[in-house]
Amino acid sequence: MTTQQTGARADVSFPSAGVELSGWHFPATTDELAGPAGRPVVVMAHGLAGTKDSGLEPYARGLAAAGLDVLAFDYRGFGTSGGTPRQTVSMAGQLEDYRAAMAAATRLGGVDPDRLVLWGVSLAGGHVLAAGASRDDVAAVVALTPLVDGLAAGRLALQHHKPSAMLRSTLEGVRSRVSGPRMMPVVARPGELGALTLEGCYEDYLAIAGPSWRNEIDATVGLELGGHRPGKLAAELRCPLLVQIADLDRSAPPHAALKAAFAGRGEVRHYPCDHFDVYAGKDWFDAALAHQVHFLRRHLAPVPVS
């Protein structure tokens, strides 16, 4: 892993399956949660086609202020990470990248390698369940507005989209898989072709989009989501779990997230809002961050040495 310091945030890079991934390290600004072996460290990843410069930094800085180091990163083919093809979502590839980031996080100076915290929002909110399953070095998992069941997400999408729009994007995905990558927008306005076309999604996503984010994605993403069911692995977690659910979520089914939380014996926080209303600048960011800090302080407070 290579590191380049830039103020309070360091640029880091690390390998995953031969691809160099790009990350940001936010060092803890207090030793409040430090134990004999070091500080806990959070591995943080974004949702569908997201990049680390798109809404993650306010959460990372909030957790760093609470005493946790944070490693936020871009998946292969997205943002400033390497890898081809670009803008193509592979569930298996992203999970492999997340695990590579976990390994990289344990090599950061001053952290406790046995107190990993897995943090994911939206699509990554499902990845953290799979990445943390059956591991003893994961101390806590935070799943924010998680997408944990692709089939349930498809059924929810049918409630908010015309069948013709769903069919159009599905056909684009099939053509992309058969004849090579076909790009479509990540977010578009209602009635247009795109992965997310609900009223308000275009404006909400662009409000958090950073300079490395691109509004395009391989149309095969819908086919990838169909078999994505990490919620089934929640029962295999051996650590505390926090699931933060947007009760009015039109993108990540709230009932599926609640089912995963129950299976993982998790703590649940509810917010009367939609999928993008938990980011900085929106009404529910402060509450979501405060609940994360409270949860992690409670479970990660160092045990006094007698």
Q: What is the CATH number of the domain that holds 8?
A: 3.40.50.1820
Query: Exposed/middle/buried for 62, CB within 10 Å: 0-12, 13-18, 19+?
Result: buried
Contact present, 204 and 211 (Cβ < 8 Å): no
pLDDT of residue 193: 87
Tell whether the torsion through CA atoms of 48, 52, 55 and 58 is positive or negative. positive
Which structural domain, as residue segments, surrounds residue 90?
2-150+229-300
Amino acid 173: pLDDT = 57
Can you list the positions of beta strands (E) in 34-158? 39-45, 69-73, 111-121, 138-144
254 φ, ψ (degrees, to nearest 5) = -60, -40
Q: What is the pLDDT along the chain (306 residues), one digit of tens a residue?
A: 665 544 489 999 999 999 999 999 999 999 999 999 999 999 999 999 999 999 999 999 999 999 999 999 999 999 999 999 999 999 999 999 999 999 999 999 999 999 999 999 999 999 999 999 999 999 999 999 999 998 776 676 655 555 555 556 666 656 767 777 888 999 999 888 888 888 999 999 999 999 999 999 998 888 888 888 999 999 999 999 999 999 999 999 999 999 999 999 999 999 999 999 999 999 999 999 999 999 999 999 986 654
CA distance 117 to 120: 10
Tell me the C-alpha to C-alpha distance, in Å, between residue 306 and each of 35, 65, 115.
13, 27, 20
- Cis status, amide bond into 163, omega within 30 of 0: no
The answer as to whether 110 is a domain residue is yes
Q: Give the orientation angle of helix 150-160 with respect to helix 254-263, to 10 degrees.
A: 160
The amino acid at residue 108 is L
Separation between Cα atoms, residue 276 and residue 16, nearest integer Å = 29
Angle between helices 123-132 and 91-105 (to 10 degrees): 60
Closest CA to 35 of 304, 293, 306, 296: 304
Hey, is 121 helix, strand or coil?
A: strand
74 belongs to a structural domain? yes
> CA-based angle 151:95:37, to the nearest 5?
130
Instruction: Compute the distance between CA of residue 277 and CA of residue 245 in angstroms, rounded to an integer.
Output: 11
- Residue 292, token pair as written in the block: 């994360």
In angstroms, rounded to a whole number, what is the distance separating the alpha carbons of residues 28 and 301?
A: 14
pTM, whole model, 2 decimals? 0.93
Q: Please give the pLDDT value at position 170.
A: 65
Please report the sign of the dihedral spanned by the C-alpha atoms of residue 227, residue 180, residue 188, residue 77. Answer: positive
Tally of structural domains, the chain:
1
Beta strand extents in the chain (DSSP E only):
2-6, 9-16, 19-26, 39-45, 69-73, 111-121, 138-144, 183-184, 217-218, 241-246, 267-271
